[in-house]
A and B are shown apart, each in its own frame.
Chain A
Amino acid sequence: MQPKELESVHRHYLKEVRKTHTWVFTTQVILFLLFLGLWELLARTNTINTLIFSYPSKVWAQFWTQLLDGSLLPHIGMTVWETIIGFLLGTILGTVLAAIIWWSPFLSRVLEPYLVIANSMPKVALGPVFIVSFGPGLFSVIAMGCAISVIITTINIYTSFKEVNQNYIKVVQTLGGNKRQIFSLVILPATIPTILATLKVNVGLSWVGVIVGEFLVSQQGLGYLIIYGFQVFNFTLVMMSLAIIAVVATLMYQGVAFLERRLTSQFK
């Protein structure tokens, strides 16, 4: 085969790949627009109850008004802030806890049943306990965002610590390494991909924790807006908050996914 032919075959292949990409993207956009259009149409023709379901143009108008009068950003800021803190705390605490039980096999055996119980427990059920211990405010919400991810993080990361190939540990041991060096030179770097993957799951979990936390107790935040909108029967407000949560949570997830790709590229 001539190099020229080879190149043209490859060019043709690339064209096909691009075409598929475009099609997927176009279909995605059409699906979204169709959903909004249908929603708007059904509302305008009074097929669905606008009091309950509201409709896109009204939600959008509400968004603009609140954005411009400055009453929306504090809510978004608060929730994002709480989620980030809860998420970081959950991940850091979980990793530290995993490191401690990796360090002491005795402790890991002692704590095993407690971890199982703590993991099976629906963490949101602890809401009232958090409120009375941390007060009805920011701290309770963060505690909820953290509690929901910390145990599963511990379990996942500890499992990945244990799954590191024993021969890597043997390499460090035969070079005279102690336990601390085994941890810092092998265990931790080898499990960074797992830790980052856990991070991705934790973002989602922390959102659940924070929104539920805000449902229970708060004067600010997107969870508060949802509950408030529900109580005063302003479902335009509820829908708007849901849409904002969808966008912001996705952005946050993509951010962590980007970080994961950047940091784990050298492992693949």
Chain B
Amino acid sequence: MNQIPSAPAKIELGHVTHLYLSTTRAFMAVKDINLRVEEGEFICLVGPSGCGKTTLLSLIAGLEKPTAGKVLIDGHVVSGTSRQVGYMLQQDYLFNWRTIEDNVFLGLDIQGIRSKETEEYALHLLDEMELADVRKSSPMQLSGGMRQRVALVRTLACQPDVLLLDEPFSALDYQTKLKLEDLIFSTLRRHKKTAVLVTHDLSESIAMGDRIYILSRNPGRINSEIVVPPTIRDTLPFDARNQEGFQDLFHRVWKEMEVVSDAAKGT
């Protein structure tokens, strides 16, 4: 243990390197990543395709073990998936053979913590997302935005402290996406969750995040870190886009992305 025991970060990655091995080659997905996320923070990872954003989420989620380096949550080494960490995928992946309600209870079933209380909490979340009246419906009857909201409830029902969001808005139409951004942003703030969002959408990363990490690829590394000023950080994503300074920040992130993409082309 090399950090101060009194104040471990919520998520900490120390010199994390991860390889994907196949018979033909060893591919370095990410190299020497150092990252610190404090409790309640919302950080965004952006970067060109193949820069290892999803790999980082898998490592934090405990789906994979880093080849080298350490992944810590609350100062403890991550060894496998845990209740503490929730994960949201690009698409909802609701189970069509279960009702909305049963989809939402999935995590409770898996973790063996289904009880009247946890069920009530999940249904309360469903209500918060304005989905109470579809609880007995089948996922097939819902629109894309509704389904993704159900997926969020499914994740939150297990009461994780950390939420990993892997481009959860990318499969939605623009209007739904903006609405859902606001909804998720305020829900996570209200429940004081720590979140890591992977996205391709630069303005989304500025509107939602407290800090933005820009990654380069081959191998995936952290190129730069941008701190979002409080005026933008504390407003809902939709309004944040109209805040003073948003455009300037967008151009900064854009420039950084250009640097990263050019560097990738050079190799």
Q: A167-B89, A170-B89, A266-B138 are in contact. Are A175 and B111 (CB under 8 A)?
A: yes
List of B residues within 8 angstroms of A173 by Cβ: 63, 81
- Whether A176 and B110, one on each chain, are in contact in the complex, defined by CB atoms closer than 8 angstroms, is yes
A160-185 with Cβ < 8 A to chain B: 165, 167-168, 170-177, 181, 185
- Whether A189 and B95, one on each chain, are in contact in the complex, defined by CB atoms closer than 8 angstroms, is yes
Which of under 10, 10 to 19, 20 to 34, or 35 or more describes the interface residues of A?
Answer: 10 to 19
- Whether A167 and B106, one on each chain, are in contact in the complex, defined by CB atoms closer than 8 angstroms, is no
- Whether A185 and B83, one on each chain, are in contact in the complex, defined by CB atoms closer than 8 angstroms, is no
Per DSSP, are chain A's interface residues mostly helix, strand or loop, or mixed? helix
- Whether A168 and B138, one on each chain, are in contact in the complex, defined by CB atoms closer than 8 angstroms, is no
Q: Which of B106, B138, B154 is packed against the most chain A CB atoms within 10 Å?
A: B106
- Cα A165 to Cα B85 in complex, Å, equals 22
- Cα A18 to Cα B230 in complex, Å, equals 68
A192, closest chain B residue (CB): B97
Q: A173-B81, A174-B61 are in contact. Are A168 and B111 (CB under 8 A)?
A: no
- Whether A176 and B82, one on each chain, are in contact in the complex, defined by CB atoms closer than 8 angstroms, is yes
- Cα A60 to Cα B95 in complex, Å, equals 52
- Is B56 in the interface zone, CB < 8 Å from A? no
- Is A267 in the interface zone, CB < 8 Å from B? yes
The contact string, 1 if C-beta is below 8 Å from chain A, for chain B 92-110, is 0101110000000011011
- Whether B93 and A167, one on each chain, are in contact in the complex, defined by CB atoms closer than 8 angstroms, is yes
User: Distance in Å from the Cβ of B108 to the closest Cβ of chain A?
Assistant: 9
List of A residues within 8 angstroms of B111 by Cβ: 175-176
B81, closest chain A residue (CB): A176
List of B residues within 8 angstroms of A185 by Cβ: 95, 106, 109-110
- Is A186 in the interface zone, CB < 8 Å from B? yes
- Whether B97 and A267, one on each chain, are in contact in the complex, defined by CB atoms closer than 8 angstroms, is yes
- Is B209 in the interface zone, CB < 8 Å from A? no
User: Distance in Å from the Cβ of A262 to the closest Cβ of chain B?
Assistant: 14
- Cα A94 to Cα B91 in complex, Å, equals 33
In-complex Cβ contact of B83 among A170, A172, A176, A266 (8 A): A176
- Whether A170 and B87, one on each chain, are in contact in the complex, defined by CB atoms closer than 8 angstroms, is yes
List of A residues within 8 angstroms of B63 by Cβ: 170, 173-174
Binding site for A on B (CB under 8 A): 61, 63, 81-83, 85-87, 89, 91, 93, 95-97, 106-107, 109-111, 138, 154-155, 158
Kindly list the 8 A-B residue pairs having the minimum CB-CB distance in the complex, ordered from nearest.
Answer: A174-B87, A175-B107, A177-B110, A189-B97, A175-B110, A167-B93, A171-B93, A176-B81
Binding site for B on A (CB under 8 A): 165, 167-168, 170-177, 181, 185-186, 189-190, 192, 266-267
